[in-house]
Amino acid sequence: MRPLRLAFAIFVGLLALLFAAPAWACGGLVNSNGSVTLVRTTTMAAYHQGIEHYVTSFEFAGGKGEFGSIIPLPGVPTKVIRGGDWTLQRLVQETQPQPEGLFLAAGGALPAAADARVILKTEIDALDIVVLEGGGTAVGRWASEHGFFLPPDAPEVLDFYADRSPIFMAVRFDATRASEQGLSDGDGTPVHVVIPTTNPWVPLRILGLGAAADAPVEADVYLLTDVRPATLPAPLSPGVASALPQGVRPGLVLQASQQASSSLLADLRSDKGMSWLPTSNVWLSYLRVDARAGDLDYDLAIDASGAGRPAPVAAGLDPETTAGSPGTPWFGAALWASLALLLLLGVAGALERRRAGRPAV
């Protein structure tokens, strides 16, 4: 039975963009005592009638300071509202076996870069949310000036996203306010972002921000689309993923791909802000991210039109290297090497068996 931790696996929290915290290290701000830790968040990306509904949840593990994260978005949101109370948990329940009763219990010298433009500001529970438009440098400066601690890979990662979409959502979690509002450790605040776009994608690379290259990144992504989507990278099947040698991380695994049940849709539609969801004919995809941070240099492009042509650019991939292979599996070098090794071992084994069958000379 899968532990609940997988239920909360898309964790923009790993963005490691910590807010100014009490202790100073040599030259920088760090959260030395770890009293405030953004644990993880859950994400659903649904695409219907040209609008991406991005729902994610922020949880915290206590403390008195502030912390936050920055999420790249595929377009300018028209609304950022409090998400429903059970959408994410219900999706987990649909795709992952749960313990009995768990669902019910869940709750200077350079030319100055143009300034980031604040598009939208809102407050949801203990979250202060600002949607920004600007290049990677401008957004990075804005974040630094507003007390975010950006890890050293942030400049490159912000540019990676800004080249595609200059829209970012900065989220500050005020733990003091959370405490005043009675939130306790492990409580989450779901956020629902409504984004009109013709080109939906889900940010994945940013999950590894600030992590060592060999650090594991595990996350879950739920997609709800009108038809069975094609994604880039195309995921592995669970069977192929489980056959990989120990220590090799598959990257992206399609754990479930099915027509959404009527009971799921009814439950989701009854949640706050989810009435836009059709009552039938919705395809549910559950993808598990299991990668090394150093290999996670892509996002998840989605073609929900039925044409089967997810855009390489939307995945942050070079169109030339992926040309002619839309929707085909894309693996990291380590995975290709492992598959080659498996093939080699298979050939060697077959040769050995043939040799063993021959009479001695």
Q: What x/- string results for residues 176 through 195 when contact with another protein is judged by CB under 8 A?
A: --------------------
What letter represents residue 335's amino acid? Answer: L
* 113 contacts another protein (rule: CB under 8 A): yes
Decide if residue 300 touches another protein (CB under 8 A).
Answer: no
Which one, 75 or 136, has the nearer CB to another protein? Answer: 136
Which tokens hold the place of 319? Answer: 């169109």
Amino acid at 180: E
Quote the distance between the C-alpha of residue 61 and its chain's center.
20
**Closer to another protein by Cβ: residue 142 or 330:** 142
Task: Determine if 30 is a binding residue for another protein (CB under 8 A).
Answer: yes
Number of residues located near another protein, criterion CB under 8 A: 32
Which residue in the block uniquely carries the two structure tokens 């959370």? 178
Check binding of 109 to another protein (CB under 8 A). yes
Which stretch in 33-41, 52-60, 103-111, 335-343 sits in contact with another protein by CB under 8 A? 103-111
Residue 207 binds another protein (CB under 8 A)? no
C-alpha distances in Å from residue 91, one per residue of 86, 88, 152, 285, 329: 8, 5, 35, 10, 25
Residue selected from 2, 22, 24, 328 as contacting another protein according to rule CB under 8 A: 24
Distances (CA, A) of 199 to 33, 204, 289, 304, 312: 41, 16, 21, 9, 11
Which helix (H) or strand (E) element contains residue 347?
A: helix 333-357
Task: Please give the structure tokens belonging to residue 236.
Answer: 């592995």
Residue 357 makes contact with another protein by CB under 8 A: no
Question: With binding defined as CB under 8 A, does residue 45 bind another protein?
Answer: no
Chain residues 130-159 in contact with another protein, contact rule CB under 8 A: 136-141, 143-144, 149-156, 158-159
Give CA separation, 18 vs 61, 152, 170, 199, 349, in Å.
13, 13, 11, 30, 51
Question: Which of 30/76 has CB closer to another protein?
Answer: 30
Report how far apart, in Å, the C-alpha atoms of 89 and of each of 7, 289, 291 are.
7, 18, 23
Q: Which residues bind another protein (CB under 8 A)?
A: 24-30, 108-110, 112-113, 136-141, 143-144, 149-156, 158-159, 210, 212
